[in-house]
Amino acid sequence: MGLRNLFRRKVRTILTVLGVVIGCLFIIITISIGYGMDKSFETQVKEYGSLTAITVRKWSYITDDEGNWLGEKTQKLDRKLVEQFKALDHVKTVTPVISYYDGNLISGKYISYANIIAMDMEAFSAFEFPDLTFGEYPTVEDNSTVIFGYNMPEPFYEGGRWDRMGKTKEIDLERDRLAYKFSGEYGQYRRNERKKEFVLPITNIAKMEESKSYYDYNIYMDLDYFEKAYRKYCDTLVVEDRKKALKLLDDYQEIQLNVDNIDNVEEVQDKISEMGFQSESLIQFLQPTIEASKTLQLIFFFLGAVSMFVSAISIANTMVMSIYERTKEIGIMKVLGCIVKDIRLLFLFEAGMIGFMGGVIGVGFSYLASFLINKYGQPLFGALMTGGAAMGDIEATYSIIPIYLPLLGLGISIIVGLLSGYFPARRATKISAIEAMRTEN
């Protein structure tokens, strides 16, 4: 009976349902865009680092409040500064970073280039390094693990990496013997001829899964293990060069900090600035993107809320008009003994069905809108995600509809329908049966 009554005035019902469809559509798309951008930000984080990470570099650039480049400065980064950073509030992990470029991997007569990055072993878990395909990250019990990025090692050439016309060798990290020589083909330090050249055997190897980031192109070591091996190498140098080489261990290229919460990154950076050091973090570059995303979501949510409000008025108007048109019918139901509760439930059912139909159609259109946004929305949403800056090829999904979202949109639509129909339904129960019988339809 309720459905029959709704379709007595098809045009009015369809227009009322359409308002609910638009409101449901905007609400679902608003949340799906926020969810999609959050997932895309996670992808960017995996490619470029962590949003809670702060980096202090030896060679840093100076900018004004608007981000314009003003110049460069050299910063003294040592163990004392590391301890000062550890004492800062909200800082969970601090690690010095040594990057060593003047070395080679050796496998028999074959040689390959290798960039070694040494950091405290706690950093591998604190900074969420990629998972490993085999091996384990360094531990207190055994810190000798050498971790290869997904695309490492580079090709091995007979005679060195510059001899590209020579023979090559395919290296199996789990089977082939490897060693690391600190002084490369163009080593800047002189070896003491009385001492044997130091070569570090690599016996404990781990391999990272692909991360599509800079992790894939580096080799990592625990800092203590690297320092121990590097000192052995320095002991083979002439005295003058030994002092120069050992400075590498006291003057870091970077110090990386991990903050306990993304909301505290700027606060920690301000404290670092007060100490006289320049720092950088991804949040500096992604903050405009995040703000733009929030603004876009607020706009869509506002449009959805306005649409739902208009829909509520439209449903209430439809139900009131239905009551006026069916006044005599209501009187007949009362005369026949229909209880007041049943009359109220009848009109609430009709209002709820308007919300339900609008919600179902709105959910369907939401999936269509999500598909179109992901397929054709790259110019707009891609620019919002990167803040207008180029950040490489980012495969992003701008709108993701989790399984709970259609149920949420449908539920809101039904609730709006029921709330909008409550007062008209209550009005219908208060109509006098005698007066209703006298009314001409």
pLDDT at 172 over 80: yes
Mean confidence (pLDDT) of the chain? 81
pLDDT value at position 43?
67
219 — pLDDT class (breaks 50, 70, 90): very high
Sheet holding 104-107: strands in order across? Answer: 168-169, 156-158, 110-113, 104-107, 178-181, 199-202
pLDDT tens digits, residue range 237-289? 988 888 888 888 888 989 999 998 888 998 999 999 899 898 888 777 766 66
Q: Which pair of tokens denotes residue 436?
A: 């209703």
- CA–CA distances in Å: residue 196 to residues 230, 235, 239, 243: 15, 10, 15, 19
CB 272 within 8 A of CB 54: yes
Q: Give the SS3 label for residue 397.
A: coil
pLDDT value at position 56?
92
432 — pLDDT class (breaks 50, 70, 90): low
Please measure the distance between the N-terminal and C-terminal CA atoms of the chain and give it in whole angstroms.
18
Cβ-based burial of 105 (10 A; exposed 0-12, middle 13-18, buried ≥19): buried
pLDDT at 391 over 60: no
Which of 73-82, 315-324, 344-353, 391-400 is the least confident region?
A: 391-400
382 — pLDDT class (breaks 50, 70, 90): low
Cis peptide before 155 (omega within 30 of 0): no
Q: What percent of the chain has pLDDT over 70?
A: 81
Strands 146-148 and 205-208, sheet pairing: parallel
State mean pLDDT over 223-246: 91
pLDDT tens digits, residue range 93-132? 999 999 998 888 999 888 888 889 999 999 998 888 989 9
Give me the residues paired with residue 205 across strands: 146
CB 223 within 8 A of CB 96: yes
Strands 254-259 and 53-57, sheet pairing: antiparallel
Give me the residues paired with residue 180 across strands: 105, 200
State mean pLDDT over 386-403: 62
393 — pLDDT class (breaks 50, 70, 90): very low
Residues 6+ apart with CB under 8 A from 8: 325
**Cα Rg of the chain, angstroms:** 34
Q: Which pair of tokens denotes residue 158?
A: 């007979």
Strands 116-119 and 219-222, sheet pairing: parallel
Q: What percent of the chain has pLDDT over 90?
A: 27
pLDDT at 380 over 70: no
Neighbours of 399 (CB within 10 A): 24
Neighbours of 390 (CB within 10 A): 7
pLDDT value at position 361?
93
Of 135-144, 284-293, 380-389, which has the strongest mean pLDDT?
Answer: 135-144
pLDDT value at position 392?
44
Query: What is the DSSP-derived secondary structure letter of residue 389?
Result: S
pLDDT value at position 90?
92
Closest CA to 82 of 230, 235, 267, 257: 257
Closest CA to 19 of 394, 317, 259: 317
Neighbours of 281 (CB within 10 A): 22
pLDDT value at position 232?
93
- Rounded Cα distance between 326 and 8, Å, is 11
